[in-house]
Structure 1
Amino acid sequence: MQKLTPFLISCLLVFGVAACDNTSKTTVSAPAPDEAPQAPTAQTTQAAQQDAQSEVRRRQLDADIRAREQRNNVTGGDTQRATADLASEVRSKLEANIPKGRLTVKAAENGTVTVAGTVNNQEELAKIEPLAKEIKGVKAVVVTAIVAPPTN
């Protein structure tokens, strides 16, 4: 019985990770990695910016990133990173620092993170890779996002 319990728990965890393997997005309307990105409307951009730039939202995102880092340290560091957790943490980091972007984040088992979608200017596009690499476990970043200012 003592050996069966950890086996059952680990099976549930593996099943949960496999069932929840979906692409993380910074917004609901962000394109999937294989979709062509479209420029957001000015109203959509303004609403996203107000939400993402609120102090409460920034504190929530920072607390979420710190909690994940602590959990990762307990589970053995980089070697044990779940791709969904890595993608979600990168998405949170990008959402907090590029609030006007419509980005999709997908992580691979080897620590490679792919970021697709749109940002409003070249400065935001240049921030994606350094921000993503700040997350523990990210080994490489592939940026396929494009600059597309909001339309009126």
Structure 2
Amino acid sequence: MKKLAPFFISSLLLVSAAACQNPSKTSESAPDTVSQNPASPAAQTTQEAKEDAQSELRRRQLNEDIRAREQRNNATGGDTNRATGDLASEVRSKLEANIPDGQITVAADKQGTVTVNGTVKNQDQLNKIQPLAQEIKGVKSVVNKVVVAPPKQ
């Protein structure tokens, strides 16, 4: 029994570490990684994402998610012990709420660098990404790989 407990705990840690490697995405059709080349999304896909993100309930959920992660971060040591998954998730929530029809993937590293990839439908949305991401506590720099790609008709 004494040998089984450490094995179980190490297995659990290994699985959870592997699961944390997934980037945060604003929609199912967003690129799978921040290094993948984005493609123009279908018009129906962007419309569905926009309708979901613009609903009042979804906006409240996104804002509550950001607030809850900030509170947990403050309670567990602040910026010095910030989880990269929390940082990526907060940026993703912020972008999803403010660029509702974007197809965006977000990843973060321990140094506070956030990498954003995917597509948006116009230059105004592209210009919003960096300032919105910088609003999140703990973001030191933003690597913006997002391209303007209007939806396919």
Q: Deviations over 1:26-49 (max 9, x none)?
A: 111111222211111111111111
SS of aligned partner of 1:144: strand
Q: Among all aligned residue pairs of Structure 1 and Structure 2, give the percentage whose two residues are the same amino acid.
A: 67
In structure 2, the CA distance between the partners of 1:128 and 1:39, relative to structure 1 (3 Å rule), is: same
Whole-Å separation in 1 of the counterparts to 2:18 and 2:141: 23
In structure 2, stretches of 5+ residues that fail to align are 1-8
CA root-mean-square deviation: 2.0
State the 1:20 CA deviation: 2.1
In structure 1, the gaps of 5 or more residues are: 1-8
Q: Provide Cα deviations, 1:119-139, integer angstroms capped at 9, x if missing partner.
A: 000000000001101111110
TM-score (norm 2): 0.87
- For residues 43 and 129 of structure 1, the distance between their equivalents in structure 2, rounded to whole angstroms, comes to 26
SS of 2:92's equivalent in the other structure is helix
2:105 is the counterpart of 1:114 = no
SS in 1 for 2:105: strand
CA distance in 2, matches of 1:17, 1:59: 29
Give the partner amino acid of 1:95.
E
| Structure 1 equivalent of residue 3 of structure 2 | none
Distance 1:14 1:109, change over 3 A: farther
Q: Give the distance between the partners of 1:19 and 1:125, measured in 2 at CA.
A: 29
The 10-residue stretch of structure 1 (100-109 or 17-26) with the greater mean CA deviation from structure 2 = 17-26
Corresponding residue for residue 128 of structure 1? 129
Q: Secondary structure at the match of 2:111?
A: coil
Q: Residue 3 of structure 1 aligns with which residue?
A: none
Partner of 1:147: 148
Which residue of structure 1 lines up, in the alignment, with residue 54 of structure 2?
A: 53
